[in-house]
Amino acid sequence: MNLRRDVFQAIADPTRRAILLLVASQSMTAGAIAANFDTARPTVSKHLQILAECELLEQEQNGREIYYHLNPEKIKEIADFIEPFREMWDDRFNKLESVMKKYKSKK
Amino acid sequence: MERKTKIKTEDGKQELVITREFDLPLELLFRAYVEPDIVEQWMGTKVLKLESKKHGGWQFETTDSQGNKHRFNGVIHEFIPNRKITRTFEMEDTSFGVQLEFYEFEKLTDDASKLKIHSIFESVAHRDQMLRLPFARGLNMAHNRLQDIVSKLK
């Protein structure tokens, strides 16, 4: 099963929520983040990857290190419970638009 | 990118307004709401009945990923081609109640049009319940996925 990765999936995991809290106050490297958890380093990397994929975290190259920090725009999206409702309608209307564009070109 | 679909809600009001601009001529946008085979394509529902006229009724049926069937129905109070549809909306066998919906279709240019859906609910609580539905579904999906992962670890 390959579900679309969205912010709600991302925050459903307790480790990922903890990571978000950690980097809320300062940018951190993957190593510094992993040092806060008992879990294996690759597991933490996987969580970071998921958080970055759904744009909750942003990466910034600083010399040889990659720093992770919060993306406030995306965090705002979670705070707004209406956003999924809007997205549902947006998806539906996008579908309508593409169906009707095809319909038009068939005529 | 500007969001094309906008939702307007006010605290303490039992209504919501959805607006969307389409890169479609007004006639095509309106047709998407009238012709059953087109409705089926973009809504992903089966159209059991769609009588697009005053005093007409409608009933749609969707099947979810678990194979459960859900039905929606209502009656049409006002039908003005390319301008307006006034109808009721009800999800059968749920606690969402009946909504009154005003669909207003507007021409922007020859190739662009706008739809405004104004929904009125029985109460503020009914409206908020509907607004939270996709949010709750998102969380449920996330939890189900987590359970899948956890059960594989065992």
Report the distance separating Cα B88 and Cα B83, nearest Å.
Answer: 17
Report the distance separating Cα B107 and Cα B112, nearest Å.
Answer: 7
| B1 confidence band (pLDDT: 50, 70, 90) | very low
Report the distance separating Cα A28 and Cα A8, nearest Å.
Answer: 23
Interface residues of B toward A, Cβ cutoff 8 Å, are 3-7, 9, 18, 20, 22-25, 28-29, 31-32, 38, 41-44, 115, 130-135, 137-139, 141-143, 145-146, 148
pTM (2 d.p.): 0.68
Q: What are phi and psi of B91, to 5 degrees?
A: -90, 120
| A7 confidence band (pLDDT: 50, 70, 90) | confident
Q: Which position has the higher pLDDT, B16 or A3?
A: B16
Amino acid symbol at B121: F
ipTM: 0.83
Mutate to test the interface with B, among A9, A13, A91 (most CBs of B within 10 A): A9
Average pLDDT of span B105-116: 96
Q: Which residue of B has its CA nearest to A95?
A: B42
Give residue-wise pLDDT tens across range B81-94.
999 999 999 999 98
Report the distance separating Cα A20 and Cα B117, nearest Å.
Answer: 37
Amino acid symbol at B94: T
Give the pLDDT confidence score for residue A98 in this predicted structure: 94
3-state helix, strand, coil in chain A (%, to 5): 65, 15, 25
Among the listed residues B16, B2, B131, the one whose alpha carbon sits nearest the alpha carbon of residue A88: B131
Say how many CB pairs under 8 Å bridge A and B: 92
Give the pLDDT confidence score for residue A18 in this predicted structure: 85
Please give the share of chain A, as a percent, with pLDDT higher than 70: 89
Interface of A with B in 60-99 (CB under 8 A): 81-90, 92-93, 95-97, 99
Choose the weakest-confidence range: A82-86, A96-100, B61-65.
A82-86
Question: Does the distance separating the beta carbons of B31 and A100 come in below 8 Å?
Answer: yes
Question: Does the distance separating the beta carbons of A93 and B20 come in below 8 Å?
Answer: yes
| B152 confidence band (pLDDT: 50, 70, 90) | low
B23: Cβ contacts below 8 Å, ≥ 6 apart: A97, A101, B111, B112
Average pLDDT of span A37-41: 88
Give residue-wise pLDDT tens across range A13-32.
888 888 988 888 789 999 99
Report the distance separating Cα A18 and Cα A11, nearest Å.
Answer: 9
Please give the share of chain B, as a percent, with pLDDT higher than 90: 66
Sign of CA dihedral B104, B108, B109, B115: negative
